[in-house]
A and B are shown apart, each in its own frame.
Chain A
Amino acid sequence: MATRKKTRRLPKKRLTTDARRDIELMLRVKQGDVNAFEQIYENYRGPIGGFFYHLVWDQALAEDFLQEVFLRLWRSAPDYRPTGKFSTFIFQIAKNFWLNERLKRMHNPRLSLDAPIRGEDGDYAREIAGDASTPSTLLANAEMKARVREAIEQLPEKQRVTFVLSEFQGMKYEEIGEVLEVPLGTVKSRMVSAERFLRGRLRKYYAEFR
């Protein structure tokens, strides 16, 4: 086992929260418990917000979407039935919200989500400053990072959502299938296509990368 794990997947946004506890919390939310709701927020603001962030690459927008998802979660609480994993449930809300939002914005260009990637805002600069001291930083400059972001952003929609859930949220294929309501094989093939697409765009930077 250990031998083939040359590159471990980063333990990034893996959903480590105890599944049973989530369900108990949500059942308390169903009873109207705001404290339980806050705990769920604490547990999931990172994963849900991160999901949106890696789709829109914009802190403020990701925060707005995060808030909307939790509002929907609250509204759906009376009808909540603990039939599956809570993380799947909440990511489904996020996914549905995202699909709606995209449709809305496709018809209203002023709200377009395809804004050019911001490279110079403070947030971004800070992040890079922080990373500069990290030995593992391979993409030394912001320019390069922006290109990779761009490539991810240009992925076909379904592949992009799948890719973000897998790569940035650390979700297993099986759970991605549940969230997106597609079979496991579909998740797998979307990942293959996404990787091919990205590889095609990023290949020319390989040399700089290593």
Chain B
Amino acid sequence: MTPDPDITCDNAQENLVAYVQEEIGDRKLARKIEAHLAECEICRRQVAEIRRTFQMARETYHDFVPSEQVWKELLERLHRVGAGAGQGVLRNVQERLGPKSESPPPVAAPAPEARVAPRSRRMIAAVLSVAAIVVLVAGAALLLSLTRFRVVLKNGSQVSMRAPGDDRWLEMKPGGSIGVGASVRTETASFNVVLEYPDGSRIEMSPDTELKIVEEKAVKLERGELTADIMPSGAGFTVRTEFGDIEALGTRFTVSVSRRDLSTRLRVHEGRVRFTQGGVERIVEAGYESHAGRGMAPVEPRAFLKKPLGERYLTPECLDVSLSVFDGHGYRDHLSLEMPRIPSDAPLRVRFEVRNKTDRELTLPTGRTGGWEITLMVKEEASGGGGFLRKDVTTAGVMLTDKPSTRMEDKEVRIGPGQVYQFEYEIALERLRMLKGRKYDLVGSYCLVSSQAVAVEVK
């Protein structure tokens, strides 16, 4: 092979580090460099030196594993700061911390009525979320209706409002609230802006969103996105948009208006809503989304979550899953390998058995809508100071992950009560070759991938 005219030592050298790190994206260039290396002693020596630098650096590598304490403290701190996301987080954290820990006194006490609202834990959580919450109280001139909306916002978030009949936008300061006829606008950096109704219903405005309160139970979304969390008492509440109206039937949903493709998008998280545009009406259920445009009726609702898994989430309580590995002779739940002698070409077969422990039929997703993610964890046995040191290789990065879902058809697997579903999957051993000659244990682990499912992980 003759040296490539394009490659001189100079421009080869610029690329040698990337070459050693296997970061030459351009295959042609990689080939040219290789051709140059074949010819050039100096550059070859360079490559050797670069390799040595990296090898030396690598010797200082430390497999970082934090102590258990880090997570425990983190959980306590989450509890102290309250929730960021709202949604019952506080309760959730509390459960995790055990009954002992009491809710800390809020820095800015939420208004008393917030506490008595039946479904308001969520809201309290959100109120607690920021140390300095500003509750805007009404300026008398702005009150046009008995229905008042408290605007709760994160400190530092900018919100502007426009009174009815006025065309000026005024920045909302502590000391304001709004009534029917007013408009509210959030800026690009205004997060967590929430309008609260007296019954505890909430409208969360995304950044860069504008809405107008047109009636007691109706807002017009001019642009941007909102998520409405409507109490049962708020049934009939409507979000109007240029491209269709959405009526809550006791529910939680997100609506966004896009100027770019002139459409309104709707996602329903809980309950159901009625979506009307151009005289066509569609009922959209939880887990479904739809959209409508100018002169375009709402489209057939489509699931935006992966197919809901029956009525309940799958938890370890309803499924019993075991996994075994075929080593060429039989199935074992545990497999030791000595690295230099890995079976050459035979793929590793992994068998799953899923037992339905409940008394009803369960639907498991497979294929693109969800599926099993199999991880064979390679546990490395390294003899340490005194005894065996076990390294969990998930943290060392040696994982053999493969997803049957990419090869399986899109379908559901139904498992009757008490029944067992079994399937096999092959994992190529290609990646094992990266490991150096030591002893490893393969231990199967898997989890269920679906946005609805609680991942089930068992070792």
Binding site for B on A (CB under 8 A): 4-14, 16, 18, 20-21, 24, 27-35, 37-39, 41, 45-46, 49-50, 53-54, 59, 62-63, 66-67, 70-71, 74-79, 126-127, 129-130, 133-139, 144-145, 148-149, 152, 163, 166-168, 170, 172-174, 188, 191-192, 195, 198-199, 202, 205-206, 209-210
Question: A67 touching B125 by the CB < 8 A rule?
Answer: no
Closest A residue to B37 by beta carbon equals: A4
- Please tell me if the beta carbons of A130 and B385 are within 8 angstroms of each other in the complex: yes
The answer for the CA separation of A9 and B55 in the assembled complex, in Å, is 9
Inside 8 A of A166's CB, which chain B residues have their CB?
A: 21
Min C-beta distance of A159 to chain B, whole Å: 12
Sample 30 A-B pairs with CB under 8 A, ordered by A number. Answer: A7-B51, A9-B21, A9-B54, A10-B58, A12-B397, A20-B449, A21-B373, A30-B85, A31-B85, A31-B87, A33-B92, A34-B96, A38-B71, A46-B394, A46-B396, A54-B60, A63-B69, A67-B73, A75-B81, A78-B129, A79-B207, A136-B436, A144-B59, A145-B60, A152-B60, A192-B18, A198-B53, A198-B57, A202-B53, A205-B56
Q: Does B322 contact A (CB under 8 A)?
A: no
CA distance in complex: A18, B374 (Å): 11
Cβ contact within 8 Å between B22 and A29 = no
Tell me, rounded to whole Å, the shortest Cβ–Cβ distance linking A5 to chain B: 7
- B71 contacts which chain A residues (CB < 8 A)? 38, 41, 45
Chain B residues, Cβ within 8 Å of A170:
397
Q: Which of B237-245, B349-357, B398-406 is found at the contact surface with chain A?
A: B398-406
Instruction: Give the residues in chain B near A21, CB-CB below 8 Å.
Output: 373, 449
Given contacts A63-B67, A77-B85, contact A192 B14 (CB under 8 A): yes
The answer to whether B192 has its CB under 8 Å from any CB of chain A is yes
Please measure, in the bound complex, the distance between the C-alpha atom of A190 and the C-alpha atom of B191, giving whole angstroms. 36
The answer to whether residues A63 and B78 also contact, given A77-B84, A133-B382 and a CB cut-off of 8 A, is no
Pick from B64, B75, B92, B403: contact of A50, CB under 8 Å: B64
Structural contact, A28 and B451, CB atoms closer than 8 A: yes
Question: What residues of A have a CB within 8 angstroms of the CB of B454 in the complex?
Answer: 35
Dominant SS among interface residues on chain B? mixed
Decide: A209 near B191, CB < 8 A? Known: A6-B51, A30-B85: no
Query: How far is A6 from B437 in the complex, measured between Cα atoms in Å?
Result: 16
- Tally inter-chain residue pairs, CB-CB below 8 A: 205
The interface residues of chain A lying within 8 Å CB-to-CB of B124 are none
Partner of A53, one of B22, B64, B396: B64
B residues near A38, Cβ cutoff 8 Å: 71
Asked if residues A145 and B77 are in contact (CB atoms below 8 Å), the reply is no
Complex partner residue of A129 from B64, B384, B401, B437, CB under 8 angstroms: B384
List 13 other contacts, CB 8 Å, given A16-B399, A74-B81, A79-B192.
Answer: A14-B397, A34-B78, A38-B71, A45-B65, A45-B70, A49-B66, A50-B62, A62-B64, A137-B59, A138-B59, A148-B59, A170-B397, A198-B56
